[in-house]
Amino acid sequence: MDQRSGIRTGNKRALRGAANVLVVGLALLGLPPMAVRAADAGAAEVTSVDTTALARQTRRLINDAGQFYVVWWLPQALSQAILRDTPNLQQADSERMLGALEPYLVFALSRGQVGEHGLVDVHDRADLLAHSRLTVDGQMWTAAPADQNDAGAQAALETIKPALAAMLGRNGRGIEFALYRPVPGRHSPDPTMPGSLDYTLYRKRLQWQLPLWAPLPVRAPPAAMPVAPVVVAPPTPAASPGASAVPARAPAAAPVPVQRRKIDPTTGEEFPERYDYNPYTGQKLVSQ
């Protein structure tokens, strides 16, 4: 059975699992919005997610004189989308993998030299972790050694890794993963809520200014329209002979609202007025 069809036609338990791990919409920067509909009380069915768009929003790439760096945030929304697109993966296995990743804030890391046919001299996980530093909303998080050996999480990430490598193309070698548990009293960042992520890899600083995308608003059912009583208008009196008809004046058109934009002073990209930062780079935007 086709996996996508399996997700669309799964039972209520599977639908609730999908709702818990992916309550997001893609309403920013031309991303196609996620289509959802009510499946039962408290559940939603995900019918369309653009995996490439999610990946573009969450990854940061640097090529510095041939040294290629990757820092890729993997929120649950992206992990679920990749697992959904993985051939021959059963729904139950996908849910189990997402459950294994749920306690963590996950990053995919890579560093290597750009070669003729791809990356060479890639760094191993121990070296990447030794040269990593993560700050969430101004507070430093630590990748505990025991968490890096979580068998369930690592199995899930090994399933996800080929998709990440394919999206990076020739520079997809050497991907390793770093897992971070939230500090006590804190939760993992939500890509639909305000916040910030700051990751330093070998002195290369990468940032995410949240939200990366907006949550899809929940639509209320349409209100019943009251039935207006039928009123019969009295007959119009006949115009007297010789009287000239005065044409009715059309109502004045409503003023067109001014759509203001903001731009990235570094790249020149334009964004809607509600944005304060470039979601790709974290650059402060300025009004036109």
Q: Output the 3-class SS for 123-136.
A: CCHHHHHHCEEEEE
153-157, 158-162, 183-187: which range is least confident on average? 183-187
pLDDT at position 124 over 90: yes
In this prediction, residue 270 has a pLDDT band, given cuts at 50, 70 and 90, of confident
For the chain, first and last CA: distance in Å? 52
Cα 68 to Cα 162: distance, rounded to the nearest angstrom: 18
Higher pLDDT, 34 or 263: 263
Cα 196 to Cα 282: distance, rounded to the nearest angstrom: 9
Cα 169 to Cα 177: distance, rounded to the nearest angstrom: 18
Run of H or E residues at 177: strand 176-180
| Per-residue model confidence (pLDDT) at position 172 | 97
Cα 154 to Cα 166: distance, rounded to the nearest angstrom: 19
| Per-residue model confidence (pLDDT) at position 1 | 42
Q: What is the pTM of this model?
A: 0.62
Cα 213 to Cα 194: distance, rounded to the nearest angstrom: 10
Tokens 């019918």 correspond to 47
pLDDT at position 146 over 70: yes
Considering 53-57, 176-180, 228-232, the range whose residues carry the highest mean pLDDT is 176-180
Q: Tell me the pLDDT of the chain averaged across its residues.
A: 78
Structure tokens at 19: 């709702």
Cα 123 to Cα 115: distance, rounded to the nearest angstrom: 14
Largest CA distance in the chain: 100
| Per-residue model confidence (pLDDT) at position 15 | 39
128-137, 187-196, 224-233: which range is least confident on average? 224-233
pLDDT at position 222 over 70: no
Structure tokens at 59: 């990854």
| Per-residue model confidence (pLDDT) at position 144 | 96
Mean pLDDT of 2-7: 42
